[in-house]
A = this chain, B = another copy of it.
């Protein structure tokens, strides 16, 4: 159920408000370093498009962050008189899995090609996403029942946060179980503090505990964001999502993934899966494997939550 008289910006936790993700000041872009939240609010200064692309590559921001960073960076590239197609290509390549960012930049460029002012096209893109978050989260809210225990993964950002916030504002009793999401700890550093800031009951758990709480009957649904959804409903999301999706299926618990847009073009076998090395680990000398994303096959996905309803 929509919440009347409250903007998306009002309902979001601080970390997800516009100025907190990234902001322009003169010709420079300042990106909040999510790796250091919640203990410190440090901004990374980007003086060039390459700086902004590096911030995305280095995980200064992630999830929905790169989209906002890229829109700001494109505007600044334009103001500096750079080739905006080259700038967009550089930014898109910094997070190949994020097709929403790539397609949004491409759409903005197309509008500029058709004669629209680039500034205006970028403003409209920001407004489009605020409206989209609002609509997708109305669909998400309707799936949440009174008394629900919800398991999530990583930092599911605007759509999930708004869905849960709206459910609670509508009087539903909701408890969220948040895996830490090693090695970057997005769950511990971003999701749990964001839920707490909104006054939503939540528990931090380790990454392998989802099935435990499902077996105890505490989880009614598993809900995550998605980095990519293919047209066959394959979901690409943070590693660990697959494990919990399999367990949810085993216990007959529905799994829903939020999606801003289905990628009609991407093919399962053509997805570039990123992998990173760990940092700050105990047991130095160890060889670590940290694939960033899982691919969750359609048979494990109950539904994709979109602005047009559940697919």
Asked whether any CB of chain B lies closer than 8 Å to the CB of A59, the reply is: no
A12 contacts partner chain B, Cβ-Cβ < 8 Å = no
User: A15 CB to closest chain B CB, in angstroms?
Assistant: 12
Indicate if A63 sits at the interface (CB-CB under 8 A). Answer: no
Tell me whether A188 and B286 are in contact (CB under 8 A): yes
On whether the beta carbons of B286 and A246 are closer than 8 Å, the reply is no
Q: How far is the CA of A213 from the CA of B239 in the complex (A)?
A: 10
Known: A246-B247, A294-B212. A289 touches B204 (CB 8 A): yes
Nearest chain-B residue to A209 (Cβ)? B239
Chain-B contact segment, one of A45-53, A128-136, A177-185, A303-311? A177-185
A137 to chain B, nearest CB (A): 24
Q: Quick check: B242 and A212 within 8 Å, CB to CB?
A: yes
Contact of A285 among B153, B179, B196, B215 (CB under 8 A): B196
Contact present for A294 and B211 (CB under 8 Å): yes
Cβ of A239 and Cβ of B286 under 8 Å apart?
A: no
Q: Could you tell me if B288 and A204 are in contact, using CB atoms closer than 8 angstroms?
A: yes
Q: How many residues of A contact B (CB 8 A)?
A: 50
Does A60 belong to the interface (CB within 8 Å)? Answer: no
Chain A interface SS verdict (over half):
mixed
Chain copies in the assembly? 2
A219 to B254, CA, bound (A): 27
Q: Which of B204, B246, B287 contacts A204 (CB 8 A)?
A: B287
Chain B residues, Cβ within 8 Å of A14: none
| Chain B residues with CB under 8 A of A215 | 242, 294-295
In the bound complex, do residue A196 and residue B286 qualify as a contact, i.e. CB atoms below 8 Å apart?
Answer: yes
Known: A182-B182, A208-B207. A192 touches B239 (CB 8 A): no
- Is A205 in contact with chain B by the CB < 8 A criterion? yes
Q: Is the CB of B206 within 8 A of A239?
A: yes
Beyond A211-B294, A215-B295, A239-B212, is A205–B38 a contact (Cβ under 8 Å)?
no
A283 to B39 CA separation, bound complex (whole angstroms): 7
Residues of B contacting A242 in the complex (Cβ-Cβ under 8 angstroms) = 211-212, 215, 247
A247 contacts B243, C-beta separation under 8 Å: yes
Quick one: given A188-B281, A282-B189, are A246 and B206 in contact (CB under 8 Å)? no
Q: Which residues 191-248 of A sit at the B interface, judged by CB distance below 8 A?
A: 192-193, 196, 202-213, 215, 239-240, 242-244, 246-247
- Whether B243 contacts A211 by the Cβ 8 Å rule is yes
How far, in angstroms, from A179 to B283 measured CA to CA in the complex?
13
Q: How far is the CA of A1 from the CA of B182 in the complex (A)?
A: 38
Across the interface, name the chain B residue whose C-beta is closest to A250.
B246
10 closest Cβ pairs, A-B complex: A208-B240, A207-B208, A211-B243, A207-B207, A182-B206, A204-B286, A211-B242, A204-B288, A203-B289, A188-B283
Jot down 7 A-B pairs with beta carbons below 8 A, ordered by A: A153-B208, A180-B281, A188-B281, A192-B283, A202-B286, A209-B240, A243-B244
